[in-house]
Amino acid sequence: MNRSKLGLGLRQASTFVTLIGSLISGPAVAAVSGKTDVRTSHLRCDYLTEPLGLDDLHPRLSWQMESARPGAAQTAYQIAVASSPEMLRRNHPDMWDSGRVASGISVDIPYAGAPLLPGKRNYWSTRVWDERGAAVTASQPSWWEMGLLTALDWKAKWISSDTAEDREDRASAPRWIWTAGEDALKHPKEGKHQFRFDFDLEQRPAEATLLITGKDTVSAAVNGKQVLEAAPAPPWGSLYTWGTFGKLDVTSDLLVGKNLLAAEANVVSPGQNGSAGLIALLRLKMPDGKVKRYVSDSTWKSVDAAQGSWRAADYDDSRWKETAVAAQLGDDPLGTPWPPKPASLFRRGQISKSIRSARLYVTALGSYEMRLNGDQIGKEVLAPGCQGLAKRVAPGPMRRVARDDADLFRAAREIRDSTFRCGASNPWPNTRSTACASRSAPAVRC
C-alpha cells in the first residue's frame, strides 16, 4: 500500500472514530441542555387526589415519575406550594419552596412550609431531576384543601333531639364508683360488692326513676325492698351484657324522711372486659314540678361481702368506707351507660342566596347520613366507618368529613326550595368501648 492510500485510510478511520464518538456522547450533551423524556404525574396528598377537609398540619406529598426509557430514575426533587394558582403559575410559591433536594424519594414527603389555615386551599407542583442530571419540566398543578382544624373554627352548634330531661340527666354527671382500695379499671376483685346511699326527703315525689348498672350483674333495693333482681348468668361462652342503664320506677318505694338506696354488683368474670364499676342516677319529680337528682359519687359507701340485712335503712354501715370514683362519666374504658337511641332526623330549610361553591363539614357522636335536596351526600352506607363491632370513629378528636357539594344544589333557581336533612344514630350496643365513650347523647354538628 502506498503512502497516499494509507493516509486516506487513516483520515477515513479518524473520521469514522469521530462520528462514533459523537453518537456516544450525544445524550450527555442533551442532559446538560436539560432535555429529557421524563415527566411527573399522579400527584397525591395524604394518598388522595385533591382531597378536601384535611386536618393534617403536615400532609405528606407523593408523585410518580414516568419515562419510556429503561433505567430512568429520580435523583432530586423540588416541591412548590402556593396560596393561589396565580402565585404558583408565576413561580412564587409563597407557602413553601423546598428547594432542590438530592433524593430519589417520591413518597410521603411531609409538608414543611408556612402554617396551614383552616378551610384554605393550597396549590402545589413538583419537578424532579433524572439520573443524568436533567431537570424535568414541572408537573401539572394539584391542590389540597384544609378542613376545620380546631373547635374555634366551627361556627355550627351541637344539635340533638334529646329532651331537656335527658340533657339534665347527663349534666348531673353520675360517676362510675367502686370499692375503695381496688384497681377497678385493671384488676377488679371477683365476688360481690355492696353499695349504700342514704338521703332525706321532706315529701314524697310524684315520680321517681332509678337508672343503674354495674359489673357483671347488679341488683338494687330501696328501703329494704328489692326493686331489681340480678340477671341470670348468660349461656356458656357468652359475655355478660352490663354497662347499659336499666330503668326502674321506684315512686311507691320512697318515704318521707330517711331513705336508703342499696345496690350489689357481682363480679363473676374479672377478666372479661378487664374493668369494673357501678353507676346510678335517681331522678325525683316533686309535686311542685321541681326535679331532684341523686347520683353515684364518693358520698356512697361500699364494702365487700357484707353480712346481715345490709339493704335495710336502719342497718349500721358506720364501718363501711366511702366509695372510690373509678371513672368520670364518658371516661375510657367505662364510657357512658345510656342505651343507644334510634336515628334522629334533622332538617335545614330554604337557602335563598346564590351559591358559587359549597362545603359541608360534619361530625356526629354516632353514625350519620347526609342528604341535600333529596340526594345522598357521599357513597358511605354509614359514616363514619366502623373499626370493628365494638368500636366506631368517635369524638376526641372527631372525624370530620368535608364535601364539595355545589353540584347537588343543581341550579341557582332551585336553591330557594332546597332542603337540608341529616340524621345521626348510635347503632352499636357496646357503649362502653373507648371509641363510644361520650359525655353527651348522639348529636350532630354541621
Q: What is the mean pLDDT of residues 60-78?
A: 94
Least-confidence region, from 103-107, 146-150, 396-400, 413-417: 413-417
The torsion angle over the Cα atoms of residues 135, 138, 143 and 146, rounded to 10 degrees, is 40
Please write the tens of the pLDDT for every residue from 210-243. Answer: 999 999 999 999 999 999 999 988 887 677 889 9
Helix (H) / strand (E) element for 11: namely: helix 3-33
Number of folded domains that form the chain: 3
Task: Report the pLDDT value the prediction gives residue 444, as an integer from 0 to 100.
Answer: 58
Mean pLDDT of the chain: 80
Residue where a domain terminates, one of 296, 327, 358: 327
Q: Which pTM value belongs to this model?
A: 0.61
Q: Is the domain of 297 the same as that of 180?
A: yes
* Distance from C-alpha of 158 to C-alpha of 446, rounded to nearest angstrom: 8
Asked if residue 60 and residue 131 are part of one domain, the reply reads yes
Question: How, if at all, do strands 217-222 and 225-228 pair?
Answer: antiparallel
Examine the domain organization and report whether 319 and 189 are in the same domain: yes
* Rounded Cα gap, residues 227 and 290, in angstroms: 24
Same domain as 220, residue 315 = yes
pLDDT in tens, 233-291: 888 767 788 999 999 999 999 999 999 999 999 999 876 668 999 999 999 999 999 99
The distance between the two most distant Cα atoms of the chain, rounded to a whole number of Å, is 140
Q: What is the structure's pLDDT at 1? A: 46
CATH number at residue 307: 2.60.120.260
Angle (CA) 388-394-400 rounded to 5° is: 115
Query: Are residues 204 and 136 both part of a single domain?
Result: no
**179 and 323 inside one domain:** yes
Q: What letters, b where the CB count within 10 A reaches 16 and e where it falls short, cover 42-64?
A: ebbbbeeeebbbbbbeebebbbe
Of 30-34, 43-47, 50-54, 400-404, the range with the lowest mean pLDDT is 30-34
| pLDDT value, residue 403 | 54
Asked if residue 32 belongs to a domain, the reply is no
Residue 386 lies in a domain: yes
C-alpha cell at 222: 330501696
pLDDT value, residue 270? 78
Same domain, 193 and 319: yes
**Cα–Cα distance for residue pair 408/376, rounded to 1 Å:** 9
In a domain, 292, yes or no: yes
The neighbouring-strand residues paired with 226 are 221
| Judgement on whether residues 355 and 394 belong to the same structural domain of the protein | yes
How far, in Å, CA of 99 to CA of 97, rounded? 5
Residue 319 is assigned to a structural domain of this protein = yes
CATH number, position 138? 2.60.40.10
Which residue is listed with cell 325525683? 284
| pLDDT for the residue numbered 385 | 52
Range of the domain at 82: 39-149
The pLDDT > 90 percentage for the chain reads 56
Amino acid at 415: I
Mean per-residue pLDDT for 8-34?
A: 34
Q: Does the pLDDT at position 418 exceed 50?
A: no
User: Three cell numbers at 228?
Assistant: 331489681
- Residue 375: pLDDT band with limits 50, 70, 90: confident
| DSSP conformation class of 134 | P
Alpha helices in 179-281, H assignment, sequence order:
none
Nearest alpha-carbon partner for 213 in 200, 230, 225: 230
Percent of the chain topping pLDDT 70: 76
Q: What is the pLDDT of residues 170-208, one digit of tens each?
A: 999 999 999 999 999 999 999 999 999 999 999 999 999
- Average of per-residue pLDDT across 3-31: 35
Residue pair 415/354 in contact (Cβ under 8 Å)? The answer is yes
Give kind and range of the element (H or E) at residue 43: strand 39-45
pLDDT value for 430: 36
133/136 Cα distance (integer angstroms): 9
Residue 413 pLDDT class (50, 70, 90 cuts):
very low
Region 151-167 average pLDDT: 87
